[in-house]
């Protein structure tokens, strides 16, 4: 039975559990529909707790037997667990339960994917495996025995012993249950070794289904690079004899950092040049690093409760972004991260789903694995580092690892090490964790007697549950340029703490041109009406690569907004300035590809909305299309040289250099296609020997309405590769013309290969639809209706993925009354579905709220 009215859990209600767990012994007798889990757990009274109630979590379990100190007990059975009288001294709890992994379509707990058993326990999946205090502050040592005829049997920690049909594992590091994992299957491995800085030899494996073993080499190199980097940069060494990664086709998220046994969505680990794009490679490298880095930030030091999720996620995202910056190009990584932040986190923070980096209440914690917790959580750490400096950051981190190793911690613990390391008072800084919403920062300037004054005003609009906002600490990185383009004041970090504050720069000969918020030093919306001339100047001269890019992006956005609202033509001055930059072969091709990227249509809709103009998705689409057309025409003369320059003659490598060239080449091909109707793209499609080139050509052909043959050829070539077929599904919907997108998605749901219970396939089609801005928001509402139909259908099988995909509706209040009514009707229809999951119920009620 589902809860009729879901319960809300509050941070302020936190209480420790009445017992500590001394050790856990689990035996799994695996069978698809009747797996037996036998547990033997030693509990002792927790001296830090007053409440000695012995209540264990448990869901969808069939209790076969339960004992305390060897004698049968009869627990009181609850909706979400059980309650039993327990002694006020150390005792042994034993239970046997039965579960049905094959029937588990929610992909949480123990489930099956293509004949293999696997688990996903974060956040609260362990309670679907056995009765347990399933909360992150209860940590214990686990010993696990697996009985099955399958050849590969894995769990956390180190292998202890194995024989015909069984294996035993022991994890010496105390861990919360959410880090438990088990895998059993007919798998093959890609093995390797790593010697840690202190000389410990570690066995590494990537386990995959037979046939995928040629797609593991890149992930393995990324793993070894991550292990080395964490030693060199954070002084963190690996702590077990073995590290296993397993690829699973059916997975709700990207990957999971289970101790010593990371489980990955196969799309986030398997890679080969023929089947993966450069973007796939870069993402895989980052996710492998992310999960590996969790071994310290997450596993050795974990979270006291789920409200503290950003403690491990914000920090680990920050660490993986540092890793990528070191492995590749730092400016390119920073710009890409800001594009992501504005594309995913800003809309969340500015709409009905807005919540603090550390939320204070939730109904379903799985709904809070968000861009705010992860990406804004990482931005907060970047700001902290900027404010205290690199040395103090390193000192604070050392202190954090020393002081809290083996503990379940809070944001208070985290900030305390920074206070202790620096002597700073971080109480105001802490508002970044408690205040939701995106601060807006207005700027004015004055020049008098050689003194240049910048005055900033910060303001955060109200968000759900927070009407009044206090000023936050903003690190504002500023540089000043002279009229001839030389830098008169190098980057300085201004520390703004007041609602309104001025900063002076004296001894200047002439009024400088400011470059404000360099490197995007704080996640805010800068409200500065910089003149077109000034942005053109910054595009040409700024020494900060981020702000140079930002100047062009701003010009692009303002130009597009003028095209939409005033019906003017493309901004030719900007187009010419950009053309010069893009043709400049001294600039990194990857950076030039980013210079060329236009603001997304959703971003333009948000800007219009903020300016009090109701966005018309079709007008936004048309303006973007017109601008791209003008760009292609007016840049025709530089394209041949760019084609030459971006040719890769060496063997394929997914590194920064080659992928940068291919990224720029893809933009060039898109322009060529507008000029030649697809001739060059067709040739590239036919001769491509890697997925990056094949897919960029296919994208161009779809946009040129010339893809019929290519789509068929692509299908025939790749129909047996699930991950490539996800691209085939997603691309068609994502690149469809606005009027066709919903029909295209609908037709694809009728395709025999549309396996809607596989989250990757579902997301390919419906993520593609949601990201096709004008297509999803087509005036007839067909996009909304189709998505609502499928969300209702999926919710009965997989609440987590359904709830996550409801975010497609999060911007509904931006649009006109008719569209709003249509979206509201869809959300209402979803909310009224009988038996709707707790996950989706919470999301829809917040969206409507």
Alpha helices in 611-740 (DSSP H): 617-634, 639-645, 656-676, 679-687, 691-703, 708-718, 722-734
Q: Helix, strand, coil shares of the chain as percentages rounded to 5?
A: 45, 20, 35
CA dihedral 589, 592, 597, 598 (to 10 degrees): -170
Tell me how far the alpha carbon of residue 610 is from its chain's centroid.
Answer: 26
Q: 401 φ, ψ to 5°?
A: -70, -40
Q: Considering CB under 5 A, how many residues would be counted as binding Zn ion?
A: 2
Q: What is the largest CA-CA distance in the chain?
A: 88
Q: Which helix (H) or strand (E) holds 487?
A: strand 487-496
| Binding span for Zn ion by CB under 5 A among 10-18, 309-317, 510-518, 766-774 | 309-317
Of the pair 316, 515, the CB lying nearest Zn ion is at: 316
Mode of pairing for the β-strands spanning 440-448 and 451-459 = antiparallel
Provide the minimum distance between the beta carbon of 313 and Zn ion in the complex, in angstroms, as a whole number.
Answer: 5
Interface with Zn ion in residues 314-333 (CB under 5 A): 316
- Measured in Å, how far apart are the chain's first and last C-alpha atoms? 25
**Least CB distance to Zn ion at residue 506 (A):** 46
Pairing of strands 440-448, 525-527: parallel
- Per the structure block, which two tokens stand in for 814? 């931006």
Find the shortest distance in angstroms from Cβ 369 to Zn ion: 9
608 and 615 Cβ atoms separated by less than 8 Å: yes
Of 313 and 544, the one with the shorter C-beta distance to Zn ion is: 313
The one segment of 313-321, 360-368, 607-615, 655-663 that binds Zn ion by CB under 5 A: 313-321
Task: Give Cα separations from 547 to 322, 335, 489, 491 (angstroms).
Answer: 19, 9, 15, 12
Rounded to the nearest 10 degrees, what angle do helices 617-634 and 572-583 cross at?
A: 60
CB of residue 179 to Zn ion, shortest distance in Å: 12
Cα–Cα distances in angstroms (integers) from residue 306 to residues 122, 298, 302, in the given order:
10, 12, 10
Which stretch in 29-37, 234-242, 310-318, 728-736 sits in contact with Zn ion by CB under 5 A?
310-318
CA distances (Å), 581 to each of 591, 674, 676, in order?
A: 10, 21, 24
Residues in Cβ contact with 526 at an 8 Å cutoff, skipping those fewer than 6 apart:
441, 443, 516, 517
- CA angle 561/565/568 to nearest 5° reads 80
d(CA 515, CA 487): 10
Looking at the Cβ atoms of 313 and 558, the one nearer to Zn ion is 313
- Assess contact for 803 and 827: CB atoms under 8 A: no
Rounded least distance, CB 222 to Zn ion, Å: 16
Task: Tell me whether residue 282 or residue 313 sits nearer to Zn ion (CB atom).
Answer: 313
Please say which residue, 94 or 320, places its beta carbon nearer to Zn ion.
320
Query: Per CB under 5 A, which region of 180-188, 305-313, 359-367, 692-700 contacts Zn ion?
Result: 305-313
Stretches 306-314, 453-461, 681-689, 807-815: which one binds Zn ion (CB under 5 A)?
A: 306-314
Closer of 293 and 591 to Zn ion (Cβ): 293
Q: Which stretch binds Zn ion (CB under 5 A): 308-316, 401-409, 413-421, 572-580?
A: 308-316
DSSP symbol at 344: I
Cα-Cα-Cα-Cα torsion 817, 566, 776, 627, nearest 10 degrees, comes to 180
Which range touches Zn ion (CB under 5 A), out of 14-22, 312-320, 640-648, 746-754? Answer: 312-320
Tell me if 438 sits within 8 A of 523, measured CB to CB.
Answer: yes
CB of 50 to Zn ion, least distance (A): 33
Task: Return the range that interacts with Zn ion (CB under 5 A); candidates 20-28, 141-149, 240-248, 307-315.
Answer: 307-315
The candidate with the shortest Cα–Cα distance to 281, out of 292, 294, 269, is: 269
**72: Cβ–Cβ under 8 A, 6 or more apart, which residues?**
65, 66
Calculate the CA 374 to chain-centre distance: 7
Which sign, positive or negative, has the C-alpha torsion 289, 290, 292, 295?
positive
Active site residues: 291
**Would you say 316 or 840 has its CB closer to Zn ion?**
316
Q: How far is the CB of 740 from Zn ion (least distance, A)?
A: 37
Which residue, 299 or 684, is less far from Zn ion as judged by CB? 299
Nearer to Zn ion by C-beta: 122 or 544? 122
CB nearer to Zn ion: pick between 375 and 542 = 375
Minimum distance between the CB of residue 254 and Zn ion, rounded to whole angstroms?
A: 8
Instruction: Enumerate residues 6+ apart whose C-beta is below 8 A from 84.
Output: 54, 56, 66, 68, 73, 74, 75, 76
Q: Give the residue carrying structure tokens 């009620």.
A: 845
Q: Which residues pair with 201 in a beta bridge?
A: 195
Smallest gap from Cβ 259 to Zn ion, in A, equals 14
Our CB check for Zn ion shows the closer of 313 and 364 to be: 313
- Which is closer to Zn ion, CB of 86 or CB of 287? 287
Backbone angles phi, psi at 646, to 5 degrees: -95, 5
The region that residue 513 occupies, defined by phi over 0 for left and psi between -120 and 50 for alpha, beta otherwise, is: beta
Burial of 489 (0-12, 13-18, 19+ CB in 10 A): middle
Closest CA to 307 of 719, 8, 635: 8
What minimum distance in Å lies between the beta carbon of 207 and Zn ion? Answer: 20
CB of 659 to Zn ion, least distance (A): 24
**Token digits of residue 704:** 């040129």
Kindly state the smallest distance separating residue 110's Cβ from Zn ion, in Å. Answer: 21
> How far apart are CB 283 and Zn ion at their closest, in Å?
14
Binding mask 426-445 vs Zn ion (x if CB under 5 A, - otherwise)? --------------------
Looking at beta carbons only, is 178 or 520 nearer to Zn ion?
A: 178
Contact residues toward Zn ion (CB under 5 A) are 313, 316
């Amino acid at each position: 039975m589902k809860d009729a009215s879901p319960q809300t859990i509050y941070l302020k209600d936190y209480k420790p559990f009445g017992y500590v767990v001394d050790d856990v012994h689990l035996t799994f007798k695996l069978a698809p529909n009747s797996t037996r889990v036998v547990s033997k757990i030693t509990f002792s009274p927790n001296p830090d707790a007053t409440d000695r109630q012995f209540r264990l979590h448990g869901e969808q379990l069939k209790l076969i037997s339960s004992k305390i100190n060897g004698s049968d007990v009869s627990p009181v059975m609850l909706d979400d667990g059980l309650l039993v009288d327990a002694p006020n001294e150390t005792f042994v709890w034993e239970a046997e339960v039965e579960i049905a992994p094959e029937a588990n379509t929610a992909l949480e707990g123990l489930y099956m994917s293509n004949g293999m058993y696997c688990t996903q326990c974060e956040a609260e999946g362990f309670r679907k495996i056995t009765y347990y205090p399933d909360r992150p502050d209860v940590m214990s040592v686990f010993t696990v025995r697996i009985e099955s005829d399958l050849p590969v049997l894995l769990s956390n920690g180190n292998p202890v012993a194995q024989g015909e049909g069984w294996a035993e594992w022991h994890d010496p590091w105390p861990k919360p249950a959410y880090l438990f994992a088990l895998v059993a299957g007919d798998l093959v491995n890609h093995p390797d070794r790593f010697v840690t800085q202190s000389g410990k030899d570690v066995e590494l494996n990537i386990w995959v289904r037979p046939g995928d073993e040629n797609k593991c080499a890149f992930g393995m190199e990324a793993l070894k690079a991550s292990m080395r980097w964490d030693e060199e940069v954070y002084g963190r060494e690996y702590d077990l004899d073995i590290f296993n990664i397993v690829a699973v086709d059916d997975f709700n998220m990207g990957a999971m950092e289970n101790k010593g046994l990371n489980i990955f969505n196969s799309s986030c680990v398997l890679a080969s040049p023929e089947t993966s794009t450069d973007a796939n490679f870069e993402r895989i490298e980052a996710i492998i690093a992310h999960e590996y880095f969790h071994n310290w930030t997450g596993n050795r030091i974990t979270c006291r409760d789920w409200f503290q999720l950003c403690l491990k996620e914000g920090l680990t995202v920050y660490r993986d972004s540092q890793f990528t910056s070191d492995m590749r190009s730092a400016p390119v990584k920073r710009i890409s991260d800001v594009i992501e932040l504005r594309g995913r986190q800003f809309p969340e923070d500015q709409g009905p789903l807005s919540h603090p980096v550390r939320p204070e209440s939730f109904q379903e914690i799985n709904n809070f694995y968000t861009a705010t917790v992860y990406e804004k959580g990482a931005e907060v750490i970047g700001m902290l580092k900027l404010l205290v400096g690199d040395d103090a950051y390193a000192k604070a981190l050392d202190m954090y690892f020393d002081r809290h190793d083996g503990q379940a911690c809070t944001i208070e613990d985290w900030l305390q090490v920074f206070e202790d390391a620096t002597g700073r008072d971080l109480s105001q800084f802490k508002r970044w964790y408690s205040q939701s919403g995106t601060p807006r920062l207005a700027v004015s300037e004055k020049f008098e007697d050689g003194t240049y004054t910048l005055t900033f005003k910060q303001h955060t609009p109200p968000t759900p549950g927070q009407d009044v906002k206090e000023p936050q600490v903003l690190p504002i990185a500023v540089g000043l340029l002279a009229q001839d383009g030389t830098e008169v004041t190098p980057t300085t970090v201004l520390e703004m703490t007041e609602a309104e504050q001025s900063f002076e720069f004296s001894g200047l000969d002439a009024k400088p041109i400011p470059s404000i918020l360099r490197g995007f030093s704080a996640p805010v919306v800068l409200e500065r009406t910089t003149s077109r001339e000034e942005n053109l100047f910054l595009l040409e001269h700024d020494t900060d690569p981020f702000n140079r890019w930002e100047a062009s992006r701003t010009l692009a956005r303002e130009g597009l907004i003028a095209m939409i609202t005033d019906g003017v033509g493309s901004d030719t001055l900007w187009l010419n300035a950009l053309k010069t930059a893009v043709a400049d072969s001294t600039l990194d091709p990857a950076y030039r590809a980013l210079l060329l990227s236009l603001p997304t249509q959703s971003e333009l809709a948000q800007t219009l909305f903020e300016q009090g103009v109701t966005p018309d998705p079709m007008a936004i689409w048309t303006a973007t299309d017109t601008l791209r057309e003008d760009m292609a025409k007016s840049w025709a003369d530089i394209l041949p040289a760019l084609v030459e320059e971006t040719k890769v003659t060496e063997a394929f490598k997914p590194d920064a250099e080659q992928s940068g060239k291919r990224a720029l080449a893809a933009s060039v091909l898109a322009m060529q296609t507008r000029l030649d109707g697809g001739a060059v793209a067709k040739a590239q499609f036919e001769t491509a020997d890697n997925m990056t080139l094949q897919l960029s050509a296919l994208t161009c052909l779809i946009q040129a309405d010339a893809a019929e043959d290519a789509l068929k050829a692509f299908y025939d070539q790749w129909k047996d590769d699930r991950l490539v077929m996800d691209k085939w599904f997603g691309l068609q919907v994502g690149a469809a013309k606005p009027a066709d997108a919903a029909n295209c998605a609908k037709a694809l749901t009728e395709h025999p290969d549309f396996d809607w219970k596989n989250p990757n396939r579902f997301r390919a089609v419906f993520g593609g639809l949601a990201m096709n801005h004008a297509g999803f928001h087509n005036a007839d509402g067909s996009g909304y209706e189709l998505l609502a139909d499928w969300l209702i259908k999926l919710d009965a099988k997989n609440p987590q993925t359904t709830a996550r995909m409801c975010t497609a509706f999060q911007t509904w209040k931006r649009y006109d009354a008719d569209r709003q009514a249509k979206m509201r009707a869809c959300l209402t229809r979803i909310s009224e579905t009988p038996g709707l999951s707790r996950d989706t119920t919470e999301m829809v009620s917040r969206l409507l709220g």
